[in-house]
Amino acid sequence: MAEGQTHLTVTTKDGVTVVEFSDRKILEELSIREIEEQLFAMVDNAPSVKLLLNFQSVEHLSSAALGMLINLDKKVREKKGKLVLSDINPQIFEVFKITQLYKMFDIRDTAAQAMKQF
């Protein structure tokens, strides 16, 4: 990853790892790979992962980013963890509906609602 470049803001609240995206657009393959590496490391390093991905600042998401989310969900499930997504822009949520991914993920309107799922 480039020096000083971070795509994620990570905090912990009540045992839940809360991840907020710094980028408004998650489109470039390199950025997606860097995000994936960071998220996968979090899952690998947690004994029982509880992960909340907050998309509040994200306006655009590529299909490669969706693929990364699918892989992340699989990895979290393998570790018997829980992944919840929140604050997804209506335009991006349309893509989740069209691809039927909204059925695969636990998606909540707000981070507060998402926190109640853990």
Say if residue 47's pLDDT is above 90.
no
- The contacts of residue 118 (CB under 8 Å, 6+ apart) are 14, 15, 16, 50, 52, 82, 84
Average pLDDT, integer, range 86-92: 97
Global confidence as pTM: 0.93
- Superfamily of chain region 8-115: STAS domain (3.30.750.24)
Chain CA centroid to CA 105, Å: 10
Q: Give the residue extent of every domain in the chain.
A: 8-115
User: Which whole-number Å values give the CA distances from 35 to 43, 91, 114, in the listed order?
Assistant: 13, 21, 21
- E strand or H helix at 72, and its extent? helix 63-78
> Would the pLDDT of 56 be above 80?
yes
DSSP letter for 47, please.
S
The per-residue pLDDT for range 71-80, each reduced to its tens digit, is 999 999 999 9
